[in-house]
Structure 1
């Protein structure tokens, strides 16, 4: 699932991607779009070039009017590569964004995409050969420009719990990043808690939010508006 807002038509949309896996065949991928203004789903449409998404339950990133997922696709030489799939909610169309070279052969559920101001960030959490958890974070400084991918930071360990994997959820306006505990050898309950990391001081703050398996974050503007009324007045 993905959720986004079309500022031109003042319409909220949900995108549903379905992947049909069949034995000895490449998966078939389809998408449908729900429009709040129209109150209905579109007919399923094919995404033939998309072999799959790395983890459909990971949070998406809604940036510059588009919803972003990390997935992989088939190459003409028979191989496959990781890329970023972007859905423009205004035109109801998909486009591709190239990942950094370090990630193109890396199709992993520990690859994560998140919002970074008006652009996007890509991260990879992993264990080293000595089982030390690490987190690499890359940012696209200029949205849509492949050459602007820049490695922001490598964290080893990436969080306050030494033997745990974390994934970025969103970058705050202050420059801090909110991380989600996704895998822990310390806590058997795997509570998926949220922590905030100051990228300058490397200090962590526990946000006191845990117990949820899935998270989603988005920028917001303080207002009151009726979603089902196109003529509503915001306060």
Structure 2
């Protein structure tokens, strides 16, 4: 399992990746249903590894209470493509819908990490681990730098403040 997981539909989710000779040969999403205490597999919305490319990054997240899959592929000398899909009907493979597509040649850096989407449709992304925090405008296909952290390690995460304990209602929980 790789990357940070997320909690959607009362289940925890992670990307599972299989490697052979240093190359990823298969990817899927693994979920752990907290109520049933069982693992399940959720299929990607696309074939995991197109013949002429290889996957650099894949991660799960949440958008409007729906499971998302963000992934990036390296397509030879053409550069990287970054896409994000949303599963609109949880557990139904056919309900995956592509919501973001940053084509190769547009991103300023090699690695694009999705953070969130604003109400006006702009996409907040991190470029490289030692790069910058940027807003991507899908209509104009342009980036605007918000913070430049060149040469420093950093990370960005979205969260919702709450006073509700994840243990609320469970046996022995402190209330």
Shorter-chain TM-score tier: 0.5 to 0.7
- What per-residue deviation string (whole Å, max 9, x for no partner) do you get for residues 66-122 of structure 1? 22211146xxxxxx7421111234444322111113227798441222222211222
Structure 2 counterpart of 1:137: 84
Contiguous gaps of at least 5 residues in structure 1: 1-52, 74-79, 183-189
The RMSD of aligned alpha carbons is 3.5
Structure 2 stretches lacking a partner, 5+ long: 19-24, 168-172
Residue matched to 1:67: 12
**In the TM superposition, what are the counterparts of 1:212-227 in structure 2 within 5 Å?**
212-218=153-159, 220-221=160-161
Q: Distance in 2 between matches of 1:144 and 1:174?
A: 28
Q: Which of the two has higher C-alpha Rg?
A: 1
Q: TM-score, normalised by structure 2?
A: 0.68
Question: Please, which of 8, 28, 38 is the counterpart of residue 93 of structure 1?
Answer: 38
| Aligned residues of 1:115 and 1:171 also touching (Cα < 8 A) | no
Equivalent of 1:149 in 96, 103, 106: 96
Which of 150, 154, 170 is 2:116 aligned to?
170
Contact 2:72 2:81 in 1 (8 A): yes
| Cα deviation code 1:151-180 (max 9, x no counterpart) | 334312353x2x422121334455443322
TM-score by length of 1: 0.53
> Is the contact between residue 112 and residue 127 of structure 2 (CA under 8 Å) also seen in structure 1?
yes
**Contact (CA 8 Å) 2:133, 2:146: kept in 1 or not?**
yes
Indicate if the aligned counterparts of 1:72 and 1:107 stay in contact, CA closer than 8 A.
Answer: no
Asked whether 1:191 is paired with 2:130, we answer yes
Q: Which has the higher strand share?
A: 2
Task: After TM superposition, give the deviation of residue 129 of structure 1 in Å.
Answer: 2.9
Instruction: Tell me how far apart the structure 1 counterparts of residues 37 and 63 of structure 2 sit (CA, whole Å).
Output: 23
Could you tell me how far apart the structure 1 residues matched to 2:120 and 2:31 are?
Answer: 26
Distance 1:142 1:127, change over 3 A: same
**Any residues of structure 2 matched to 1:107-122 within 5 Å, and which?**
108-122=55-69
Q: Distance in 2 between matches of 1:216 and 1:179?
A: 10
